[in-house]
Structure formats: structure tokens, C-alpha cells
Amino acid sequence: MSINELVQNYLDVWNERDTARRAELMKTALTDDSIYSDPDYAGVKGHSELSAAIDKAQAKFGDLVFSLGTLVNVHHDKALFRWRLGPAGADSAVATGYDYVEIVDGRFSRVIGFFE
């Protein structure tokens, strides 16, 4: 799987409203012991904790969805990409940010998000 596909799988996790389907998507995008942090959440561990955080975020965001802005750089087992949050199919975004990720065995093991 390419890094673009992996990033898209990860963004699909954040966009998925069905928790059972999200759990399946997480298996392809995140290691079981993954750690997620951003300005709102510190050290969220594993799929179930991240899914609960996503539920809270989705309640706040309404129908907005995440999309890939730019894949900034990739080297070894690390990547940096820019994301956008906005209406589905729209070019405009209401929020943007960056995620730094560490990759283990083709899945994200650590995600550190930054808001712009």
C-alpha cells in the first residue's frame, strides 16, 4: 500500500460514522497499540479510545469531512501531511492542520496532529 493510500485509509477512519465499520478501517490504518495526540486529546491509546474521541469530534463537526491537503514529506518510517476539514466535495475548508505520523508494518503507530 502506498503512503497516499495509507493516509486516505486513515482519513476514512475519521470520516466513518458507523462505529463497526470504523473499527474495521482502523485495522488497516492503525496498529492495535497506536497513540494519537492533538491539541484536544493527549495520548489516546488504541482503537477503542480513538474511536470514542472520533465520536466526540464528529458530534462537534457535524457533516464536515476530512480530506488530504498535501503529502508534505515521507522518509523511512515517518510522514507529514496536511489535512482539510470541510463540506464533502467542496474545495473550501473550515479548518486545516498537519499530522506527523510514524509507521510500523504498514500502519500508523503514532499520530501527532497540529491545527492551523
Query: Domain of 70: which CATH number?
Result: 3.10.450.50
Number of domains in the chain: 1
Give the residue-averaged pLDDT of 69-90. Answer: 94
* Residue 91 confidence (pLDDT) above 90: no
For position 89, what pLDDT does the model report? 87
Model pLDDT for residues 14-67, shown as the tens digit of each residue: 999 999 999 999 999 999 999 999 999 999 999 999 999 999 999 999 999 999
Q: CA nearest 93: which of 66, 56, 63, 60?
A: 66
Amino acid at 57: A
Which domain range does residue 110 map to?
Answer: 3-115
Going by pLDDT thresholds of 50, 70 and 90, the confidence category of residue 1 is confident
